[in-house]
Structure 1
């Protein structure tokens, strides 16, 4: 399983509307409002890197009032953190 945490910077006051739209995207598993330079954090899961990229690029970034995103991708099958 490939996943990502995506930080979203959106137009102030539209966080709730964007959260409702995000819930309609199958790959979005969680969405939370946060403080700081970004307004929302979402958790995504997909079966491939390509599908994850398409969802972020063509669904999430295209939402009205989403100004910027920052993506932190992970691969559950990676052995990069074996010592943890």
Structure 2
């Protein structure tokens, strides 16, 4: 299982449209509006890194109302401490 957080910038006035579109995808586990450089943060889970890459390229980056994204891969710290 691969988990990532996506930081998303939307085009002006398109935040709710993007939020509604993202909620359609099973891979999106949570989504929140945030303040700062980005407009939204979404928790994403896929079965593999290849699936994550495909999801981002084929579903997220084609949403016209998204201006840009930054993806942060989660490294499970507990596994590294054992």
TM-score by length of 2: 0.89
Q: CA deviation at 1:30?
A: 0.7
| Partner Cα separation in structure 2 for residue 36 and residue 58 of structure 1 | 26
Q: Which structure's residues are more often helix, by fraction?
A: 2
Unaligned runs of 5+ in 1: none
Q: 2:4 — aligned with what?
A: 4
Which secondary structure state, in structure 2, belongs to the residue aligned with residue 79 of structure 1?
Answer: helix
Q: Conserved in 2, the CA contact under 8 Å of 1:11 and 1:65? A: yes
| Partner Cα separation in structure 2 for residue 64 and residue 10 of structure 1 | 9
Q: Which portions of structure 1, spanning 4 or more consecutive aligned residues, are displaced by more than 2 angstroms?
A: 75-80
Q: 2:55 — aligned with what?
A: 55
| Partner Cα separation in structure 2 for residue 77 and residue 32 of structure 1 | 24
Written as runs of structure 1 = structure 2, the 5 A alignment for 1:12-27 is 12-27=12-27
Q: CA deviation at 1:77?
A: 8.4
Q: 1:65 — aligned with what?
A: 65
Q: Conserved in 2, the CA contact under 8 Å of 1:28 and 1:45? A: yes
**How many residues matched?**
82
Query: What is the Cα-based RMSD across aligned positions, in Å?
Result: 1.9
Q: Conserved in 2, the CA contact under 8 Å of 1:2 and 1:75? A: no
